Structure 1
Amino acid sequence: MASGLLALLDDVAALVKVSAASLDDVPTQVAKTTGKVSGIVIDDTAVTPKYVVGLDPSRELSIIFQIAKKSLFNKLVLLSPAALLLGFFAPWAIPPILMLGGAFLCYEGYEKVHSMFSTSHAENPDSQQAAVKVITPEELEKERVTGAVRTDLILSAEIMAIAYATVAEDALLTQIVVMICVALFITLAVYGFVGLIVKADDFGVHLAKRSQRPQLRKLGEGIVKFMPHFLKILGYVGTAAMLWVGAEIIAHGIPYTSHALDDIGHSLAEWPALGWLAKVVVSAIGGLVLGFFIDKGVTLLKKAL
């Protein structure tokens, strides 16, 4: 009886040691995953502020909190379990799903670039005005939140799929803990930063109007003037990140293009930053080209239907 209890305790101790050793890798894996999804995070951060533009400033943080709460729910309750189940029952499905998500990012990125240079939206303003639907502020807020959550769901799916792919060879406990940490960290980082962005102009107005010091008033005025330009730049960066990440995900799913990207980095090994930039530029251009062909394919499909 005593020997059986001691053997059981030895097994438990061994299990605890294995679990502790496995959990020691969690910070490293979280950092590695965060680096891999940085482009998607940038895009998520760049896209979200547009959903609160034009709404009541007093509701901005509440709206961001609603989006963040649903984003975290999607990551923890829907996407992480889905990734773990797929990884267990159908691991072969993960790369194609990642590549499909990458293709969607390229398509969305191309659409954004196309809209920047397209003049088709400058049609008869009367016809556009006639198409405007009159809704209440509450309905507009709900509509904005729904749109933001829908966009975030796609980006979050990519993030959690990449997070799982990073730890696919690790123990189940490590996989679960890493995915939970990634979901929490990225959600807090993205929506915390978005909250700072959307309230920065209010902070600037406060300084410009109420500060007793001329230097602080000038700083406030500068913040108010700078924020529209910053949001525009952030939008450009987000679009570029979308193209870069989408193309890189697809490239890494195809041996030939994956080796080609690696060769670019190796050829500039003496200048790591330049090598990274070259890979980003090549990926972004490739994503734009791929997005163009996907857009034409979608257009032809719509006409055929």
Structure 2
Amino acid sequence: MATGLLALLDDVAALVKVSAASLDDVPTQVAKTTGKVSGIVIDDTAVTPKYVVGLDPKRELSIIFQIAKKSLINKALYLGPAALVLGYFAPGVIPYLLMLGGAYLCFEGYEKVHSLFGKTHEPTEEPTEEMEVITPQQLEKERVSSAVRTDFILSAEIIAIAYATVADSPLMNQIVVLLTVAVFITIAVYGFVGLIVKADDIGVHMAQEKFNPTTRKIGRGIVKSMPKFLTILGYVGTAAMLWVGAEIIAHGLPFMHHPLESLEQAFSGIPALGWLVKVVLLALGGVVLGFIIAQVLNLGKKLFKRPAEKVA
């Protein structure tokens, strides 16, 4: 009996050693995954602050916390397990889901570019009906829902890329890496977003007379620079959305992926320039793809538009 128990303990110890050895690779895999999803993280960070613009400043951190909480729940409880299940039963589906998400990012990026630079000269029509009035609570709820929908797509891309990085690893590694990436990226993104939206309040506090002249000057500089910073961040987010979306699609299509690799090799002596050229080309490609998707959707709306009801 004792011998059997000792043998069992030896087996458990051996299993623990194997598991520990495999888990040693987790930090490396998490770091690798974080680097691959950096473009999506930049986009997520740049997009989110707009959802609190115009709302009660006292509610800003609460709103960001609500979005972050739902983002983490989506990553950890829905997207992560879904990636594991698909990876086990239908791994071939994941690249196509990634490409579908990439197409959505290109479309969203094109819509932003169009809204920023597109000029319409259509006359503004006077409203024929009374405008619907909503309460601040309803507006906050709508903003949170909209932010969570956008975050869900970006989170799906993050989890899918994370899974692709560890697809050949043991199941325990996959679970730990996906969970770690979900927690780390959520905290990093929304912690930074919270800092951005409260930066002007921090600047106002630093500009008070009780602080020394240098601190007050820095505080006033923060307050003055935040509008420009948020504008630049919006442009960066749009560019990131386009290049990430296009790159995801390009990686799923060999006839596009190989030219990108050749381009990087051509600039191997100047990696930074090669990266910049690749990003610009991908962003432009994302705009073109987004434009095509927008036209197809508009055509679909016209084809399936219900005829106007005749008034007796």
TM-score by length of 1: 0.95
| Equivalences for residues 83-122 of structure 1 within 5 A | 83-120=83-120
Which residue of 2 is the match for residue 207 of structure 1?
206
Q: 1:97 to 1:228 in 2, by over 3 A?
A: same
| Equivalences for residues 106-145 of structure 1 within 5 A | 106-120=106-120, 123-124=123-124, 126-127=126-127, 132-145=131-144
For the residue of structure 2 that corresponds to 1:78, the secondary structure is helix
For the residue of structure 2 that corresponds to 1:246, the secondary structure is helix
Which residue of 1 is the match for residue 291 of structure 2?
292
Which residue of 1 is the match for residue 36 of structure 2?
36
For the residue of structure 1 that corresponds to 2:71, the secondary structure is helix
Which residue of 2 is the match for residue 247 of structure 1?
246
Q: 1:125 to 1:226 in 2, by over 3 A?
A: farther
The CA RMSD over aligned residues, in Å, is 1.7
Which residue of 2 is the match for residue 6 of structure 1?
6
Question: Hey, which of these two has a bigger chunk of helix by percent?
Answer: 1
Amino acid aligned to 2:95: P
Q: Distance in 1 between matches of 2:149 and 2:234?
A: 18
Q: 1:252 to 1:127 in 2, by over 3 A?
A: same
For the residue of structure 2 that corresponds to 1:134, the secondary structure is coil
Q: Distance in 2 between matches of 1:185 and 1:4?
A: 43
Q: Distance in 2 between matches of 1:123 and 1:163?
A: 48
Amino acid aligned to 2:291: F
1:225-250 Cα deviation digits (max 9, x unpaired): 10010000000000100111111111
Q: Distance in 2 between matches of 1:102 and 1:131?
A: 39
| Equivalences for residues 24-103 of structure 1 within 5 A | 24-103=24-103
Amino acid aligned to 1:88: Y
Which residue of 1 is the match for residue 148 of structure 2?
149
Q: Which runs of 5+ in 1 are unaligned?
A: none
| Equivalences for residues 220-235 of structure 1 within 5 A | 220-235=219-234
> Between the two proteins, what is the percent identity of the paired residues?
71
Q: Distance in 2 between matches of 1:131 and 1:93?
A: 47
Q: 1:123 to 1:18 in 2, by over 3 A?
A: farther
For the residue of structure 2 that corresponds to 1:209, the secondary structure is coil
Q: Which runs of 5+ in 2 are unaligned?
A: 305-312
Which residue of 1 is the match for residue 280 of structure 2?
281
